[in-house]
Amino acid sequence: MDWLKMKSGSDVRGRACGEGAVITPAVASALGMAFAQALAAQKGKDVSGITIALGRDSRITGRALLEATADGIVRAGANVMDFDMCTTPAMFMSIITPGFQPDGSIMMTASHHPWDRNGLKFFTEKGGIESRDVEALLQAAQSLKPDALPATGKIEKRDFLPVYMNQLADRIRHGMGTEDPRPLTGLHIAVDAGNGAGGFYAKLMENLGADIGGSQFLEPDGMFPNHIPNPENPDAIASIRDAVKRSGADLGVIFDTDCDRAAVVGEDGQEINRNRLIALISAILLEKEKGLTIVTDSVTSSGLKKFISSRGGEHYRYKRGYRNVIDEAIRLNGEGLNCPLAIETSGHAALKENHFLDDGMYLVTVLIVKAIQLKQQGKTLGSLIADLEEPVESTEIRLNITEEDFRKKGTEAIERVTSAARQNPEWHIAPDNREGIRIQFDLDGKEDSGWFLLRLSVHDPVLPLNCESDVPGGVQRMLRELYNSLADMSGIDLNPLKKAIED
């Protein structure tokens, strides 16, 4: 088995049960041992002085993988804090919380992926480890034999979620400027945990005084029987939308399985995710301070850029991938820019005030503070983004690359489109193009009223294509021009593009 194939960005991920399972207890044990040894080397400690916290989401393979990982760690000679059910952001917070402060932590999760998948996310005091570090761990683990060594480390069961809940409660009271034990009295919040790890958030809201009627799927169930726990999934959004309408809630919130992503639904049932979610948190931040730089991924809309600019901010598009967006925001802050937010359209959001931790639950907590403040003024969260211009049409297409050297072929395609743009006065290369090639169009004489972005997937032999138009029929017109520039190119399946033009 090629262990490097289990690498997914800065995580380890894959099928964890059934035929073809690759994330097995044996793999988890070896990775636990490798991480303990890497931490010891990094910190200049004997491995016996290393402690690693472990947590899991609700997946059916989670407990077995956690126990196997713990076994690998103690056979390395290091020690374990077993948190059992937890969230990915909480696993990092434990590292910097007095009374816990392990040297590192590992979360067993595959985020929003199906029930038969699982994986491991690794943290140090600097945050999630980088892609190259994951690769090094996999390479080291592949040659380890934990079963050949005695278990000399210790395993201690600890409960961190109540501490994390108190941290979120403190953020609400701080944001509202009160010591009131029930500051959310008068606010009605419906919580949908999708049977993942985040059901406790409803209890937190209730403890703080909120009405949680309409909350659903709070009990952990690793088979995800009700809907995919994914804030981008249409069925999941429809489910929380219906819950909000049925219960008359002021707000609905939905989390993915491990709670590092979230979305919101307003009292009218309007989903607040993707560009709307970015606009909402940007508006809240820019109310307090102008001149901020908001870092997002590359597929955000032209309307969002205008919205942020109208609030006195600067919209900075960067590469897709939540680690890319977070790392770029940190880099820009280091250069003197004030970047309080790094956020992807997928719902991954990291705030500077929260250690640039990718934490959907923290983001929702900030939004809830604003929601109750607005309700006291007779307003809603939706009122903050009422002037956000949204596209009339949008589409996303994936073009498979059929040649073996897919990176070379994908790069060739992007260069072909870039060359076409330079030769066509109606094509405008976006001034903030930082990934692939983003082309802007002035459709029907309306400036910057359409765009497409063609980029190369980080891991897969695919060219993802996003296209948006502010005028009817614009998407088809832009796609036709793109197709004409690539039509005679071999090694790329253009049929999905051709079909989109013909439909």
Degrees (nearest 5) of the Cα angle 195, 200, 205?
125
Do 399 and 335 share a domain, yes or no? no
Q: What is the CATH number of the domain that holds 286?
A: 3.40.120.10
User: What size, in residues, is the chain?
Assistant: 503
CA dist., res. 109 & res. 439, Å (int): 37
User: For 131-146, what is each residue's pLDDT tens digit?
Assistant: 999 999 999 999 999 9
Closest CA to 271 of 232, 305, 306, 308: 232
Give the residue among 356, 333, 331 at the shortest CA–CA distance from 343. Answer: 356
Please indicate, yes or no, whether residues 171 and 253 belong to a single structural domain of this protein: yes
Q: Among 99, 131, 158, which residue terminates a domain?
A: 158
Residues 240 and 255 in one domain: yes
**pLDDT per residue as tens digits for the range 158-173:** 999 999 999 999 999 9
pLDDT of 339 higher than 90: yes
pTM of the entire predicted model:
0.94
State whether 405 and 463 are in the same domain: yes
Tell me what pLDDT residue 297 has.
Answer: 96
H-helix segments, 124-273: 131-141, 161-176, 200-207, 234-247
Statement to judge: residues 328 and 453 lie in one domain = no
Among candidate residues 385, 411, 435, the one where a domain is terminated: 385
pLDDT in tens, 7-33: 988 899 999 999 999 999 999 999 999
Half-sphere exposure in the Cβ direction for 307 (13 Å, CA): 24
Quote the number of domains for the chain.
3
149, 12: one domain = yes
Residue 291, exposed/middle/buried by CB under 10 A (0-12, 13-18, 19+)?
A: exposed
Encode pLDDT of 287-297 as tens digits.
999 999 999 99
Question: Of 467, 473, 480, 396, whose CA–CA distance to 438 is shortest?
Answer: 467
Distances (CA, A) of 119 to 14, 25, 27, 116: 6, 11, 10, 10
With 80 as the cut, is the pLDDT of residue 458 above it?
no
The answer to whether the CB of 166 falls within 8 A of the CB of 90 is no
> How many whole angstroms separate alpha carbon 15 and alpha carbon 5?
11
CA dist., res. 166 & res. 246, Å (int): 30
227 and 135 part of one domain: no
Regarding whether 364 and 321 lie in a shared domain, the answer is yes
Are both 364 and 299 inside the same structural domain?
yes
Q: Can you give the CATH number for the domain in which 483 is found?
A: 3.30.310.50
Name every residue whose Cβ is closer than 8 Å to that of residue 71 and which is 6 or more positions away in sequence: 29, 32, 146, 151
Residue 414 structural domain: 393-502
Q: Which of 203, 204, 202, 199 has its CA nearest to residue 172?
A: 204
- Do 179 and 129 share a structural domain? no
List the beta bridge partners of residue 118.
Answer: 14
| Pair (197, 333) in one structural domain | yes
Query: Nearest-5° angle of CA 192, CA 343, CA 254?
Result: 5
Residue-wise pLDDT for 223-282, tens only, equals: 999 999 999 999 999 999 999 999 999 999 999 999 999 999 999 999 999 999 999 999
Q: Looking at the structure, do residues 179 and 298 belong to the same domain, yes or no?
A: yes
Q: Report how far residue 375's alpha carbon sits from residue 382's, in angstroms, rounded to the nearest whole number.
A: 11
**Average pLDDT value for residue range 393-414:** 96
Four-residue CA torsion sign, 236, 242, 243, 245: positive
Q: In degrees rounded to 5, what are phi and psi of residue 257?
A: -60, -40
Average pLDDT over all residues of the chain = 96
- Dihedral pair phi/psi, residue 165, rounded to 5°: -60, -40
Alpha-carbon gap, residue 236 to 240, rounded angstroms: 7
- The position carrying tokens 């910097």 is 96
Q: Cα(199)–Cα(57) distance, rounded to whole angstroms?
A: 11
Domain termination residue (choose one: 334, 353, 385): 385
